[in-house]
């Protein structure tokens, strides 16, 4: 896959219910393990979070099945997976940087959609 299509394809996969395929693509691109995906948040995260990353077991947990199709949440949590050190499993990276990482994917997806609409 061409690198310029990578981010739009990841977003498209998530929007179209192929979240596990998107995570595999992300993991391959960034050369990390594919994180597990789980519906239901860990205790203590249910009040205000749509997603949560647990480095201990390399799992992205989401609030509900609808959240599986939310590219912002999935990519945001993948950022935390990416930034967690494999050796000490410490959660590294700020929420601000995770947001920025996810928004970059969404922006490139929007640009690809606009470009495709101009062509047709």
DSSP string, 7-56: HHHHHHHHHTT-HHHHHHHHHHHHT-PPPEEEESPPTT-TTT-SEEEETT
Angle at 87 between CA 7 and CA 53, to 5 degrees: 45
R_g over Cα of the chain: 14
Domain boundaries, the chain: 3-112
Q: Which residue has the higher pLDDT, 103 or 49?
A: 103
Q: pLDDT for 35-86, tens place per residue?
A: 999 999 988 766 788 999 999 999 999 999 999 999 999 999 999 999 986 5
Residue 109 and residue 81: Cα distance in Å, rounded?
22
Q: pLDDT for 2-28, tens place per residue?
A: 567 999 999 999 999 999 999 999 999
CA distances from 54 to 10, 36, 73, 85 (A): 21, 10, 14, 12
Residue 10 and residue 23: Cα distance in Å, rounded?
8
pTM of the predicted model as reported, rounded to 2 decimal places: 0.90
How many angstroms from the chain centroid is the CA of residue 42? Answer: 18
Q: Which residues contact 46 (CB under 8 A, 6 or more apart)?
A: 63
């Amino acid at each position: 896959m061409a690198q310029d299509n990578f981010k739009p394809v990841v977003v498209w996969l998530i929007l179209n219910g192929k979240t596990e395929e998107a995570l595999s693509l992300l993991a391959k691109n960034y050369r990390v393990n594919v994180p597990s995906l789980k519906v239901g948040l860990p205790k203590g995260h249910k009040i205000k979070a749509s997603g949560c990353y647990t480095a201990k077991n390399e799992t992205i947990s989401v609030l509900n099945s609808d959240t599986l199709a939310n590219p912002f949440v999935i990519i945001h949590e993948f950022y935390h997976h990416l930034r967690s050190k494999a050796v000490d499993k410490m959660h590294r990276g700020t929420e601000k940087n995770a947001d920025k990482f996810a928004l970059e994917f969404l922006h490139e997806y929007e640009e690809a959609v606009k470009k495709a609409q101009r062509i047709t």
